[in-house]
Amino acid sequence: MKKILVANRGEIAMRILKTAKRMGINTVAVYSTIDRNAPHVKYADEAIHIGDNPSNKSYLLGSHIIKEAMKLGVDAIHPGYGFLSENAGFADDVAKNNMIFIGPDSTSIKMMGDKLAAKDAVKDYNIPMVPGTDHAVSDMDKARELAMKIGYPILIKAAAGGGGKGMRIVDKQENLDAQLERAVSEALSAFGDGSVFIEKYISSPRHIEFQILADMHGNVLHLYERECSIQRRHQKVIEEAPSSVLSPELRAKMGDAAIKVAKSCKYTGAGTVEFLVDDSLNFYFLEMNTRLQVEHPVTEFITGLDLVEQQINIARGEKLLLKQSDLKIKGHALELRVYAEDSFHDFLPNVGRLEAYKIPEGKNIRVDDGYEQGMEIPIFYDPLISKLITYGKTRSEAIHRMIEAIDQYLIEGVQTTLPFGKFVCQHEAFQQGNFDTHFVQKYFRADQLKADLEDEAEVAALLALKLYSKDQNIVRVPN
């Protein structure tokens, strides 16, 4: 593998390019018009403009990207996450054009991309699943009967859903018909597939996922878990590894289940098997993501491995050099997704220009970003500015490092999730490891955070004034 094209942008494009460069592989970036001066464009050895700003006119144009890659003699394409990463047709087309798709083959992508097909694939492997239907429901009478059997509250989910979208909680029978109808039409318009199914709604779940590595020679490993329960709109904001609630026995059991899921679809590459864990520590298979996850750096910290390097080695046909028994969890890592979002107003995107931008630096702090001071955060893409990752020998050390790093991180011009991250890290329930996916609804009060920040600003202003007057005194004394 001599030349890799990264079919992505922002922090993940930078992340992949860095490892490829370190491995002595030539790199090609792609960019839309608005991204022409982005760091990933400047960092890569070559860069090609692939189209206009909307992603369906640039980063989603699979065949156009493949054509450009061939012109430049590229021999492998890394899709990152999002965009084309879970597009089975794209993975196939890359292979058909004699290039390597750095990811699993299209059959695994297809199977795991559909939540119902995924449930079907794993059903012979004795893996616990959330009670629910294993087929699409459209018939109202059947749906009513099934929901009664499962017991309310239930969750209606789109088979083709993703990114926390296409889910509806139904708390009682009278609401079922209307919600089901709405779910089908939403799924159809958002994913082009109206198939929905019903699952038991687990009332206080934790989201715990396992990182998998599988080579083409039948070796499959798990690299332990990531706890991703701090979410808003069913989407993750803070992740950590390891989880504070898994005993070594439960970890081994879930790790085994995750390996079985990977084997059920003959998976190759890096992937993630997601589970829900209820308050009695029962676990249930949720879905498998067939790509590198946003939150992979916390796993890198606790295992000392570079997951992009592992992906590249696997794609080159190399055997995994590690055995499960070689792996050991070392320390604790935490990740905050720094989104251009207004935490005070329901986490709405808050795009604009980065008037001031300075990242925190120091031991055990890692920032994966794709922006520089003065750049615009475009409205066309996911508003993720960066990922702030901290590490410590213990969970408490990682949390305190995160608080320090947030305080040092300077971002002006857009609202971000930094204050929200500090709120979570300082919260007693989070510090005690006592939380579930409802942390935000349960504990987060935007007005309280705002008041705290205003108090902090007032104290800072008073302090500045005091220092200023003192300074004036000093200056005045000689006169």
Tell me if 286 sits within 8 A of 321, measured CB to CB: no
Residues 144, 145, 150, 152: is their CA dihedral positive or negative?
A: positive
Nearer to ligand ADP by Cβ, of 77 and 238: the residue is 238
Cis, peptide link before residue 153, omega less than 30° from 0: yes
Nearer to ligand ADP, 393 or 438 (CB): 438
Please report, as residue ranges, which positions from 236 to 255 form the binding site for ligand ADP (by CB under 6 A). none
**Residue selected from 114, 199, 227, 382 as contacting ligand ADP according to rule CB under 6 A:** 199
Q: Is 130 in the site for ligand ADP (CB under 6 A)?
A: yes
Q: 240: closest CA among 409, 369, 405, 430?
A: 430
Complex with ligand ADP: residue 339 or 409, whichever CB lies closer = 339
Q: Give how many residues touch ligand ADP by CB under 6 A.
A: 19
Q: For the window 279-318, what string marks contact with ligand ADP as x by the rule CB under 6 A? A: -------xx-------------------------------
Per-residue tokens: 149: 């059997």
At its nearest, how many Å lie between ligand ADP and the CB of residue 210?
Answer: 13
Q: Which stretch binds ligand ADP (CB under 6 A): 3-11, 53-61, 199-207, 389-397?
A: 199-207
Q: Which CB atom, from 41 or from 155, has the smaller least distance to ligand ADP? A: 155
Residues of this chain, 410-439, that bind ligand ADP according to CB under 6 A = 437
d(CA 327, CA 305): 10
**Active-site option among 9, 15, 291, 401:** 291
Helices marked H in 9-139? 10-22, 39-43, 62-71, 88-96, 106-113, 115-122
Q: Which residues of 381-410 are buried (b: 16+ CB within 10 A; e: fewer)?
A: bbbbbbbbbbbbeebebbbbbbebbbeebe
Which tokens belong to 317? 């046909």
Nearer to ligand ADP, 4 or 230 (CB): 230
Minimum CB separation of residue 207 from ligand ADP in Å reads: 4
- 205 contributes a contact to ligand ADP by CB under 6 A: yes
Q: Does 362 bind ligand ADP (CB under 6 A)?
A: no
Which one, 154 or 315, has the nearer CB to ligand ADP? 154
DSSP state of 83: T
What ranges in 192-342 are assigned the alpha helix state H? 248-264, 296-303, 307-315
Tallying the residues shown for the chain, one arrives at 479
Q: Which residue among 133, 231, 264, 415 contacts ligand ADP (CB under 6 A)? A: 231
Task: Name the residue nearer to ligand ADP (CB basis): 35 or 186.
Answer: 186
Considering only the stretches 31-39, 54-62, 200-208, 414-422, report the one whose residues sit in contact with ligand ADP under the rule CB under 6 A.
200-208
Q: Which amino acid is at 474?
A: I
State the Cα torsion 40-42-47-52 to the nearest 10°: 70
Active site residue 144: no
Q: Which of 11, 86, 274, 335 binds ligand ADP (CB under 6 A)?
A: 274
Element (H, E) at 447: helix 446-476
Contacts of 40 (CB under 8 A, 6+ apart): 6, 8, 9, 10, 13, 14, 17, 29, 31, 370
Question: Does residue 85 belong to the site contacting ligand ADP (CB under 6 A)?
Answer: no
Q: If binding is defined by CB under 6 A, does position 271 make contact with ligand ADP?
A: no
Least distance CB 415 / ligand ADP (angstroms): 24
The secondary structure of 321-386 as a DSSP string is ---GGG----SEEEEEEEESEEGGGTTEE---B-SEEE---STTEEEEE---TT-B--TTS--EEE
List 172, 234, 316, 445, residue binding ligand ADP (CB under 6 A) = 234
Cβ of residue 442: shortest distance to ligand ADP, in angstroms? 13
Q: Whole-number minimum distance, CB 130 to ligand ADP, in Å?
A: 5
Using the rule CB under 6 A, is 201 a contact of ligand ADP?
Answer: yes
137-166 residues in contact with ligand ADP (CB under 6 A) are 155, 161-165
Say whether 7 sits in a helix, a strand or coil.
coil
- 151 burial via Cβ count (<10 Å: 0-12, 13-18, 19+): exposed
Please report how close the Cβ of residue 391 comes to ligand ADP at its closest, in angstroms.
24
Strand 341-342 and strand 154-158: the pairing is unpaired
Question: Cβ closer to ligand ADP: 282 or 472?
Answer: 282
Residue in the structure block whose two tokens are 């986490």: 347
Which residues of this chain interact with ligand ADP, rule CB under 6 A? Answer: 130, 155, 161-165, 199, 201-202, 205, 207, 231, 234, 274, 276, 286-287, 437
Which residues have a catalytic role annotated?
291
